[in-house]
Structure 1
Amino acid sequence: MKAFVGVCVTILGLFVFHSAATAAGITYDCDTAADHFSELNLPTVGVPFTVSGNVQLNALAGSKKYAAVARLQITSSAAPGHSPDVFAGFSISALPADPKKTPSGLPAIQMLSYNVNGKDDEIIPLSMMTKPGTVQPFTLSYDSKNVTVSLGKDTKSFRLKAVEPVVRIVCSTGEFLFTDLTIRSQGTAASSNSADEKLSRMAALYKELCLGAFPDDKAVEALLSTKNAQELTPEQVKITMRDDPARGWKLQDGTTTVWLEFPPYHACSVRWNAPQIGDLSSYRTIASNYEDALGGFYPTDPLDADQGDIHIHAVGEQRTLADKGSESLLFFAQSIHNEKRRAAGETGFSLRFVHQFAPPDRGVE
């Protein structure tokens, strides 16, 4: 799978919101080779918050050294590839076994464990009776002092004081599928509904302009004219795109912009600022319908990177074209991770949906 290449080049304007963050409806296929690991850190804003979803084991990668394992934890923020100082959460692991000796009759045994820094993993004994591959629901709640982990009927709390808490997913030596992964601040229902409605409108606009009209730039421009969109000046475009060739328009709501980027990377994007990410299900439906109609799309490697005070998270799908170029559908979320700036109120997100065509061997930008 191709990684996101050069994505940190495009940075949107700064944004200030006094609200907590939510990431909803994420599907993450954490697939690693034997004796290798993969790590994904998801930002959270506002305490208390709750993380929920499902996880299941899809496959083991044969290893003589390590068990297949996936961990989901609430941790203090740490540099990618470095273990956090404090964490609490759970793990799901599996080992190959003689099918004649396993409760399920399958050649593997699966188990759930609580894990917290400074202690050995605590296995939930009855979890070893579960058939490997069974979907396991989970919920983790954090209130600035304690993490409460619920795995089905089993619940346990751990003391935790996390600095800039994040949700950390690590997997190794196997494939684990996370679905319906949601991060929601508690007590922000009204704000969440507003963010969900905004995201649904943006997804519909993206479908109309970037999936329906694009890559015909003139067709996109004509549709924007019917919406009385105002074209940005070259100076305004340069703030976001720097030296990349592009045009941008601001819609009548004053908060939404549409962008066309020109070769070598040809792209159409819808961008907006929001206090929360919102429910991504409407976007996922639109993207999946488009991808299913054409076929050949596969997930790109998720991106989590920092440029200065800005953290960039991106996920998407890509297919290879006949000329060895690529077509990608991408979702980006940018947020401030500097503690002082966040304390001053810069807790919002800069979000964008992107439809991009890249030349051969250039990957995703």
Structure 2
Amino acid sequence: MRSTRSTGGAARHAGAGRGRRWRRALLGTLALSAVAAPAISAGCVAGFDPPSLVDGLRVFAVVADKPYANPGDEVTFRIHVQDGLGGPEDGSRPVTVTWFGGCENPIGDDYYGCYPEFAELAGAFEAWQQAGDPTAPLPALNGVRPSVGDTYTITVGKDILEGRKPPASGPASGSAYVFFVACTGRLGPVEDQGTGRAGTFPVGCFDSEGRRLGPDSFVPGYTQVYVFADERQNPNPVVNGLELDGAEMSEDFAMISTATPCPIDAEERREVGCNARDPIEECRTVTIEAMIPEDVADPDPDAKQKALKEIVWVNYFADLGDIDGGIKLVSDASRGYLGDHAVTWIPPAEPGVATITAVVRDARGGSSVVQRLVRVE
């Protein structure tokens, strides 16, 4: 279904927000990060590259310094992105991240309710870039201008809670949406194909010859910040580093951890057949574990049982080798902190430097990212 067009104040104040309070999402390949699947299959079926393998352009997370904000607050977002198809030795592809903000409380409180205004703003931004006049004023949506870079700051509208009615339980709330586009080419408009409830994401990524690029080179997405009438807050979950086989991994490149290459190459690990070799049994694997404190989970402010806490989990990623089981639950709502959230990493067959990434998330939109390097030799 084509999304309903909304403009100005209608986009800022429509909808009651019922049933969508805890949703905070990213589009494109970020959806893969929520899949819990083993990296290696030595059974009788075909194997596939796991979601934890960074083999293209990947956005791990967009971290807001205030996942929950108050009216008038400044909120800064930082994107964590890696291009698995480029590297220092091979020559990295240029990756540009463009941000678009200014949409608050869209009709239906759905992200695609922002699409019409987002499309207009993106088109105006493209025209501004093509004009080549840096002194010309940037286009804006509700006073918020687009920007290019790893970070983006918006100011939440002072009237974001105006006209918002509380749901059956809990306080009234509003939300501010921010869209991002990570692209290795140039941005361009995309016509709505009219398929699906959300419709077509209105911006695409194109190469120098005008050919539209795929998900290996283009990651679109959105994130949102919630505002509650009772001024509740939600700090991002804490992660203090990574451990390899129980030893803390250093941030100093001269002191990074080491691992032994696995003699089974990537192609052989994906072989079909019951007699496929099992790299977990035949290779010298290592354990990777995010250093997450026991008090990482905050109390759930809407829980009827006061002892309940928010759910926290961690996703692991690697640009070389394989991770067996890329997602682990860290803290359960009723059981609390779970001690073991380590995963097994199977190093690649060839020597090199691998990047290991862990993204810790809570169920209320908070996230934190930590990365470390491993030298395979």
Same fold flag (TM > 0.5): no
Normalising by structure 1, report the TM-score: 0.31
The structure in which a higher percent of residues are helix is 1
The structure in which a higher percent of residues are strand is 1
Normalising by structure 2, report the TM-score: 0.31
